[in-house]
Amino acid sequence: MPKKISKIMDKKIKTAKPIAKTKKVVVVKKEKKVVKKSEDKKITYSTLRGMRDVLPQDGEIWQNVYEVVKNVATSYGFSYVETPILEQSNLFIRSIGKGTDVVDKEMYVFEDKDGAKVCLRPEMTAALSRSYIENGMQTLPQPVKMWYHGQMFRHDRPQAGRFRQFYQSGCETIGNSDPIVDAELISAAYNTLRDLGINSVVHINSIGTLQDRENYIVELVGYLRSKRSYLSEESKARINKNPLRILDSKDEQDIAVIEDAPQIIDWLSPDSKKFFTRVLEYLDETEIPYVLNAKLVRGLDYYSNTVFEIFSEEEGFTNLALGGGGRYDGLIEQLGGQSTPAAGFALGLDRVVMILKQKKDKAEKEGVKKEEIKKNKIFFAQLGEQANKKSLFILEVLRREGLFVYHNFSKSSLKVQMEIANKIGATHTLILGQKEVQDGSILVRNMDSGIQEVVDQKKIASFVRKLLQN
């Protein structure tokens, strides 16, 4: 190459070299930025606050709980039902009531693509009441006894045993106003926990009729206003909106005020007192431990007369509420149906499982179901109030032995009860009247031959077992 050209080339290269380096640095920096941004955009997913997964190591406990709930509910004559998770939000606003924590703070409400206001169901009683009306269940033989198991949703503050998506199981009896229904439901709830190996105690109260409560609230509000300066801010806000809920407060400021508050039991009408007394008399026959709790009111507006909650007595979990329920005689009519008496309960299964996880070894021993005899066709008929009371104890003895016996407390006529026994294809009917209560016996009738024999009440379980095995 000529020297002149060589010098020119050298000059160009020297001039261009810094520019080339600058370009190279810029490119490298850009590449590094792209790589870094790509790393920063790595996406991870997790459950929403208040939600959780049921993992394989807990699956067996959950399945066991479901099976025990199912077996107990079935033994009491309840049939399984389901309702949609999504419902019209007004269903719960109307039934549970404005001013309640569930409606004002906790419901998941949104507008769907059709513009309808819907919500994730926060509880089942209103949903089952809607189903009862919509599906014409009032035309079925009354009462209609239903049990359920499913997920509910409330935007609550998550804590141990409390989630925003949670499981409930429960039983509802619609179409029977007899106080024996209340006792039977309490028995079903208590015995579900017992069969799971959980010790518990029932707290019970009466909040009377709507008129009883209106009279009481006037007195209560007057008292609370006189003590307003001693109440927590939350309770101050509730005085005019929902004063009964103040009685449930766990705030230390409120507890001292609540202690001296007037008691609703003193404002019950004679009919309400009589009803509650009969519930307690029936409950006494079941030998279930219970405490009269004058401050118990429950947090939903649809309740009337009997209300109850069940608390754990397990070590480390004492005073933990595991479920509750009561009577709601006005709800069906309030939602557009006919005036229909009803009562029910729900158990919070997340707390139940929490207890069982900590005592898994014991639960495996105590939660094992007794071998249940299936295809049984035994009907239990009772005559008179004394027989009604005694029947609860006898049926409980049979249930504990895994013996399923059909019954219908809403019918008092022997003729009608025998017709029901024939319809279900019962092979034998156990008959308990006033005479049998006094004698400590039960009359057993063969439905095919009509032959009757007298059996000692203490031997009825073994006698029924032999009938079913033949």
Tokens found for residue 168: 């409930």
C-beta of residue 287 within 8 angstroms of C-beta of residue 310: no
Q: Which amino acid is at 464?
A: V
Query: pTM for the complete prediction?
Result: 0.78
Q: Do domains 56-208+268-366 and 378-469 have the same CATH topology?
A: no
Residue 376, pLDDT score: 52
Q: Which of 139, 203, 195 is nearest to 399 (CA)?
A: 195
Tokens found for residue 304: 């009337």
Residue 372, pLDDT score: 40
The residues spanned by each domain of the chain are 1-44, 56-208+268-366, 378-469
- The strand pair at 304-312 and 200-206 is best described as antiparallel
CA dist 371 → 75, 147, 437 (Å): 13, 22, 29
How would you write the pLDDT of the chain (470 residues) with one tens digit per residue? 544 444 434 544 344 444 444 444 444 444 445 445 545 678 889 999 988 888 888 888 999 999 999 999 999 999 999 999 999 999 998 888 877 778 888 899 999 999 999 999 999 999 999 999 999 999 999 999 999 999 999 998 888 778 899 999 999 999 999 999 999 999 999 999 999 999 999 999 999 998 998 899 999 999 999 988 889 888 888 888 888 888 888 888 888 888 889 999 999 999 999 999 999 999 999 889 999 998 888 767 789 999 999 999 998 898 899 999 999 999 999 999 999 999 999 999 999 999 999 877 554 544 444 444 445 588 999 988 888 889 889 998 888 888 888 888 877 788 888 888 888 888 899 999 999 999 999 999 998 899 999 999 999 999 988 888 76
CATH of domain 56-208+268-366: 3.30.930.10
Terminal-to-terminal C-alpha distance of the chain: 119
Is domain 378-469 given the CATH code 3.90.1170.10 in the classification? Answer: no
CA dist 431 → 285, 318, 394, 395 (Å): 18, 41, 11, 12
Q: Which of 128, 158, 155 is nearest to 144 (CA)?
A: 128
Q: Which amino acid is at 346?
A: A
Phi, psi of 52 (to 5 degrees): -160, 160
Tokens found for residue 442: 């039960």
C-beta of residue 94 within 8 angstroms of C-beta of residue 86: no
- The strand pair at 144-153 and 165-174 is best described as antiparallel
Residue 362, pLDDT score: 53
Residue 22, pLDDT score: 43
C-beta of residue 257 within 8 angstroms of C-beta of residue 226: no
